[in-house]
Amino acid sequence: MTNKEAAELLREEMEAALNVAGVWHIHAMGWVDADTMDPEFIGHAMWQTDPPLDIDWTTFNARRLRTKSPKPPPAEWLKLLAVSGADFEGLIKAARMSIGLFLIQTRIIVTTEFSDDDFFELHWMSAVIYLATAAERLREFFVAAAFRQTQAEYRKRGNSYRDEARTKYATPFLEALDSFASPDSSSPLERLHAMAPTIQTIRDKRNELVHELATSMGRREHQRLSGRQPQPTDPENVNFAELRAAITAMKDERAEKIGTATKELADWYMLLMRASNEAFIFERRRRHDNT
């Protein structure tokens, strides 16, 4: 098998595992089929068909400037929307690939009683980092859409809102809900505000989990490098019933760990898909209202 064939096979297996887990590609969101928008994720269809900037302004700007009547450059907040939205897409795709590699690795370790968990934990940690970073880009996108500001500019609004300390993640969604309450925009804003505290937990979990997994991997590597080897055991002194029970307990513990991690990653991914859907709906309406 060539490297290309191996890579294609791995991608096929990853896609199958991701689809079983319900972790759909972002470009599949928003569409029932090639021509029909999905009402449940219509925000994604809006983002794909009506982005804040035409590709002409990002790819062919120099050519346009040489024409007799070039268009004025786009506003900075529109550029920020385009960049932060593209960043979110890229990060969520990377998160999905890391989840796919994590799922493939789980298949390997469940078939081997004494397999090493390093790759399993590496892909788990990578997926969490990408998801948490995507959540941050989604917040940046939303601040640009709602307030026409960068996050640095938004932070200058002060340390409190409604006489309470601004939270690390949720306050912009609450402030937007207060500022843009209207029949067209209140529903996506209400849903975003409801989801924001849960999204915050992804960012909190990142720091906790990365420390936990990195420490675990480092500890195992230190043990390997230290040259400490387990002492051989006299077969006559081995209690095989206890050994089988220990192996079964280890397998059960590992299966529970895999199941919990798989559900958590899939839930977080879909939470960001739903939150971005609402953000895209609000952004398009806000942009076209031009208020």
Tokens 């996050």 found at: 151
pLDDT digits (tens, 9 = 90+) for 263-278: 999 999 999 999 999 9
Give the pairing type, strands 160-161 and 36-37: unpaired
Any domain includes 150: yes
Any domain includes 121: yes
Any domain includes 275: yes
pTM over 0.85: no
pLDDT digits (tens, 9 = 90+) for 215-226: 765 655 555 556
Q: Are 154 and 172 in contact (CB under 8 A)?
A: yes
Any domain includes 6: no
187/96: higher pLDDT: 96
* Distance between CA atoms of residues 123 and 276, nearest Å: 24
Question: Which of 82-91, 105-114, 168-177, 253-262 comes out lowest in average pLDDT?
Answer: 105-114
Crossing angle for the helix pair 171-179 and 186-225, to the nearest 10 degrees: 170
Any domain includes 107: yes
Any domain includes 140: yes
Secondary-structure percent of the chain, ordered helix, strand, coil, rounded to 5 = 75, 5, 25
Any domain includes 258: yes
What is the tally of structural domains in the chain?
1
> Number of helices and strands (H, E) in the chain?
10, 4
What domain range includes position 116?
37-54+75-226+242-289
Any domain includes 204: yes
Q: Name the average pLDDT for the chain.
A: 82
